[in-house]
A and B are shown apart, each in its own frame.
Chain A
C-alpha cells in the first residue's frame, strides 16, 4: 500500500531570520510517528515541489516520551513528536516550533527559561555536604505517591505552551515550576527550605499570575497534577503571606 503523507512545516533558518512554511510529501509506512516522518525528510530533503532544500531540524532523545526534547506544535497543539503517531493525525500534518520559547532552528527551541524558573523557585533539595549523614528521614507512602506523580515532569513545555498567561507580555513563570515547588516542599529535607520557595513563588511573575484556565493539566503528557499543586500552593502562600505580615 503506497500511501503518501503531506507535512506542512513552519521553518526558520536561525534565531534571527524570518519564518516560512514549506510542504513535504513523504512515503508512508505502518506505525510511523512524527520523528520517523522527519527522518524521511532528512534522508531525502526534497520539498513538495521537488526542489532540493535543507533537511528540517528537530530535537529528540529518548523516543519514548520521557525526555521532552521533541516537543513541538503538532496540528495546533503542543505534544511530543515521538509519541505522535501518523495514523492518528489528520493530514496534512502541520508542524511548528513551540511559540513560547525562542526558536533555534526549524522545530528546535531553547527551553532555557524553564530551567531558569526552576532555579528561581529553588526547586532542589539542599544537602549539607557530601559526607555520610546516615539514612534520610522516612517518607510516608501517601507523600511518596504524590511525589512520584509530580516527579514525572520532564520540563517539556507543553503546559507553558498551552497556558494563556505565559507569553512575551507577562513574566509568569508558568505551571511546571510551581508543581516542582510542591514536590520539593513535600520532602521532609526539602521542607527545610519551604518558606524560601513560597517566597520565591510570591514574587513578580509568581503563582498569583495564574488565571485558572487549567489548560496546563489538560495538555500535560505526564499527567502531573498541576492544578492541584497550584491550588495547594495558593493556600500555602496565602497563609504564609498573612503569617509573615503579622510577624513583621
Chain B
C-alpha cells in the first residue's frame, strides 16, 4: 500500500468522521436559538466550559479541516472537468462537489475568523446578541445561506461518494438507494440549518 492510497482514503474518511458528524452536531446546537435567546446563551457557555475543549477543537475540528481542505485543493487541481461534453447527472454532481468545496472552504475560513477568533485569540463570549447583530445585515445573511447550502451539499454528496470509495455500496441499486439517502440528509440539514439561522433574525 502506497502512502497516496492511505492519504486519499483518509481524505474521504475525514469528511465524514469527524467533519460530517461535527457539522450535524453544530447544526443541532445552533438550533438552541429556536428556543430563545436565554437558552442559546446558556448552551454556548456550557459548551465553552467543557473540560479539554481545546483538545476537541484541535483534534476533532481544526486538524481534520486543515487536512481535508489542503488535500482537497490538490484533488480539485488534479481534475479536468468535462460537463460540456458529458452531461450526465453524476458528472454534474462530481463538478458541483468541487465547486461547493471551494465555496465551503472560503465560507468556513471567513466564519471561523469572524466568530471563533473574533477577539484576536479564541473568543469566549459569543452571544445571541452578537450573532443576531451580524445576521441582521442582509449581505451577511445571504453569504451565510450560500455557505450553508454549499457545505450541506458537499457533505451529502461526499457521504454518497464515501460509501462507494470505501466499497460499502457496490451495486447500482445500492448506490441509487444511497443517493436517495444522501439527498434526505441534505434536506434535513438544510431545514435544520436554515431554521436555526432564521431564529437569529
Residues of A whose CB lies within 8 Å of any CB of B are 76-77, 162, 164-165, 167, 169-170, 172, 199, 202-215, 218-219, 227-228, 230-241, 244-245
Contacts and interface: CB of A to CB of B under 8 A. Distances in A.
A157 B108 CA distance: 40
B181 to A, nearest CB: 15
21 contacts: A76-B85, A77-B86, A164-B81, A164-B82, A164-B94, A167-B80, A170-B79, A208-B5, A209-B78, A212-B161, A213-B90, A214-B94, A215-B86, A218-B86, A230-B164, A231-B171, A234-B165, A234-B166, A234-B167, A235-B166, A245-B1
B4 A208 contact: yes
Contacts of B84: 76
Contact of A169 (B1, B78, B91): B78
Interface of B: 1-2, 4-6, 8-9, 75, 77-82, 84-86, 88, 90-91, 94-95, 97, 160-161, 164-172, 175
A224 to B, nearest CB: 14
B82 to A, nearest CB: 6
Nearest to A205: B4
B86 A202 contact: no
A241 B166 contact: no
Given A212-B94, A214-B88, A234-B167, 14 more contacts: A164-B82, A167-B79, A206-B5, A207-B5, A211-B75, A211-B161, A215-B91, A218-B86, A218-B90, A227-B164, A231-B169, A231-B170, A231-B175, A235-B168
- The interface residues of chain B, by DSSP majority, are classed as helix
Nearest to A165: B79
A68 to B, nearest CB: 19
Contacts of A235: 166-168, 170
B166 A238 contact: yes
B88 A244 contact: no
A15 B166 CA distance: 40
Contact of B78 (A77, A165, A199, A234): A165
Contacts of A237: 5, 167
Contacts of B168: 235
A56 to B, nearest CB: 21
A241 B5 contact: yes
A208 B8 contact: yes
